[in-house]
Amino acid sequence: MSGILGLIALGTSTPDLKLGARALVQIPGSETTFFAPCSGVALAAVGLKGRIETIRDDASGLLVMVQGAALSPVKPYRRLSATEILESYRRDELKSWEDLEGSFIIVLIDKGQRRLHIVNDRLGQLPLLYAQGPGWFCFGSQAKAIFPVTDLEPKLSIEGVVQFLTAGYPFGKRAMLEGISVLEPATQLSLGLDDLRLNAMRYWSLQYEPRRITSREKAMADLHVAVLEGHRIILGQGAPEYDLMLTGGWDSRGILEAMEQLGSRPQTARSWGVRDDLKGSDPEIARCLASAFDTDFHFFPYDVERLPRILRPWVCVSELMNDNLGWYIELPQCYGELHRPEAEFELLGDEIWGWVGHVNDERDAISRVLPPTLPYSVRKVFRQERLDKFRVDYEGAIRSILSGCVSRNPNDLKDFIYLNIRVNRFIFSLGYFRELMVPQRRPFLTRTVLDVICQIPREMRTDKNGYIAMLKSHMPKAASFPRTSTDSVADWPYLFRTDQNIRETFMRLLTPERVSQGVLGEILDCKQLSEIRDRFFAAQAQKRHQESPLKIQLRGQLRKLIERAPGLRRLVRFVRGNEGSDFDTLRRVALCVALQEELPRFKAGLPELLLFDSVPVSAPENRLRKISRR
């Protein structure tokens, strides 16, 4: 993720952005460029060369800055230049940007109309945060860039912390820091340069309108055509060099075969995990897939021992956008190797084929994505006198997002909330800092694919039923490989109890003296939390249970039966608890403590490279396992 920063400050000539821009410099080789398009307005672009494009036309008083890749939705498919985007604004103003594909942030200064416009892509794939105070408005790719250039003081947000402790990430407009808002997907943000009046408009929202189909075969054929077209849009013209993040799951293998059917192939497929030799694990299946599709394969082994050393730098970099500890042990060993100057982008299999199974009502729909209310695992550590307020705010944030869904069918609500909460704020954020090294594109989230998904029957959105059936009928080579049956991820509850460094690091973070400080002290019952901490670490460590081969086989047979007769899914009731656990609560509280203790540095602009200062532009060969093409 390259970074942008902007400040509109009334009564100043050119606001100074140096400290804020410095906070965005997180890898060697980053370049910083400053712009002062008019009085009281300053912009900065930070990142590797070519990642952010800016064009200024003094004759018309327009300046356009583009972060990411705005792709043409019509042939010839291509990445649009800042000049083309400026010209389209001249013709149709903001309307011309509503159909763009790709992941992008567009910033436009119109001196004639005295307005600032900020527009993101329809799914909000890149982060943009903003804040407003007396006489100023500021926006940036990360919150840490906003504090040094404004009078806003960095402190945790009570609502953000409650969401993080409950769901594992903040959602909606909420960030982890007070006074900071997140630009929601498909939003046009407009600001008057003279009065700082702010207007936000959503220009698109996913709406499900299932249609009757003459046959499942026709629906699967339509989906196949849409998938191939989505890949053509992402590829654009010519023969770009690109890579693929490959797992053993259904999604990224579909990218492999779609590209093969289009006569293209990724240069490198990458996977990650604890080991790549566990039969039936994600990386083992990914390695076999890469070999079958004649693609180089790189495996990144997780380094769990790195967690205590990298925890504090990473909470600063990530600003706790989510609680995924895999983030910490991916870094920095894979990031240097991710940067290949010759690679234009990397493909990801992020999708919305249909999240889990059939649901019966709205509460059931919410519970398949995140806790519908505060679960007992967090209620018991919250201050009881504030519990009702926390619950009302948390449930209200979910209802606010659900209000954007026109359909009230529970299964439509489930997939709508999955996209607008889980995908937008958890799944996308996993890739934010890979984007520092290589831009990312998601062919399954192009409009041509989304339109088909919205129209297929609901039963084809049950457990990815329609996509998997399409894969088996139209992409049999990819579908022939087995599904994941063995975990190759870190067993965190076991490691927290048995790895001495990890255990001591988190026990120290969870002491009452540290938990009771600042905003966390206003939220948490330190006595209750200490009792839960002591019980957890005193309990006997047990390794994660692996499902038996028979259970996996029976579930596979049930899936095949449902694929043949999707209506049967309504009769199957899987119990999916979303009540959290003491382990979830403890690790999330510890991460919040670490972030809160680092916040004073945010005001100073974080004068050192945080995490990537020692990362080479290409990793030594012995840092990864590589299987050449056959």
pLDDT, tens digit (0-9, with 9 covering 90-100), for 471-489? 999 999 999 999 998 989 9
In a domain, 223, yes or no: yes
State whether 325 and 461 are in the same domain.
yes
Answer yes or no: is 107 within a domain.
yes
Domain count, the chain: 3
Range 11-16 average pLDDT: 89
Residue 325 near residue 619 (C-beta atoms within 8 A): no
Q: Is the pLDDT assigned to residue 285 strictly greater than 80?
A: yes
d(CA 307, CA 500): 12
C-alpha distances in Å from residue 377, one per residue of 250, 374, 503, 509, 529: 33, 8, 20, 19, 10
**Could you tell me if 23 and 137 lie in one domain?**
yes
Least confident of 6-15, 94-103, 459-468, 575-584: 575-584
Shared domain check, 177 and 132: yes
Distances (CA, A) of 106 to 17, 128, 139: 19, 10, 12
> What pLDDT, in 10s, does the model give residues 415-455?
999 999 999 999 999 888 778 778 999 999 999 999 999 99
Q: How many CA atoms does the CB half-sphere of 350 hold within 13 Å?
A: 23
- Look up residue 375 and give its two tokens: 């679960």
Does the residue 219 lie in any domain? yes
Same domain, residue pair 301 and 345:
yes
Domain boundary among 169, 202, 235: 202
- For the chain, helix, strand, coil in percent to 5 are 45, 15, 40
* Helices 549-564 and 465-474, packing angle to 10 deg: 90
CA-nearest of 319, 350, 325 to 440 is 350
Sheet holding 345-347, edge to edge: 440-441, 345-347, 242-245, 268-273, 296-301, 625-627
Res 89: pLDDT: 95
pLDDT at 556: 62
User: Could you tell me if residue 503 is inside a domain?
Assistant: yes
Same domain, 471 and 536: no
Range of the domain at 11: 3-202
Angle between helices 582-603 and 500-509 (to 10 degrees): 70
- Residue pLDDT, tens place only, 145-203: 999 999 999 999 999 999 999 999 999 999 999 999 999 999 999 999 999 999 999 99
Residue 372 lies in a domain: no
What does the DSSP assignment read for 602-628? HHTT--S--S-TT--SS--GGGSEEE-
From residue 91, alpha-carbon distances to 85, 97, 203, 204, 254 in Å are 10, 11, 18, 20, 38
Q: Of the candidates 277, 191, 299, 234, which has an alpha carbon nearest to the alpha carbon of residue 486?
A: 277
Does residue 40 sit in the same domain as residue 139?
Answer: yes
Q: Which of 170, 202, 234 is the last residue in one of the domains? A: 202
- Do the domain assignments include residue 379? no
Domain match, 163 and 197 both: yes
Tell how far CA 469 is from the center of its chain: 27
Residues 70 and 120 in one domain: yes
Residue 259: give its domain's CATH number. 3.40.50.620
Contacts of 399 by beta carbon, 8 Å cutoff, 6+ apart = none
Whether residue 391 is contained in a domain is answered as no
- Please tell me the distance from the alpha carbon of residue 2 to that of residue 439, in angstroms, as a whole number: 9
pLDDT at 580: 81
Question: Do 105 and 228 fall within a single domain?
Answer: no
Q: Does residue 64 share a domain with residue 213?
A: no
495 and 474 both lie in a single domain: no
Rounded Cα gap, residues 171 and 160, in angstroms: 8
Q: pLDDT band at residue 211, thresholds of 50, 70 and 90?
A: confident
Q: Are residues 54 and 193 in the same domain?
A: yes
Residues in Cβ contact with 476 at an 8 Å cutoff, skipping those fewer than 6 apart: none
pLDDT value of residue 604:
86
- Is 27 contained in some domain? yes
**Which CATH number belongs to the domain containing residue 144 in this structure?**
3.60.20.10
Among the candidates 467, 486, 505, a domain finishes at 486
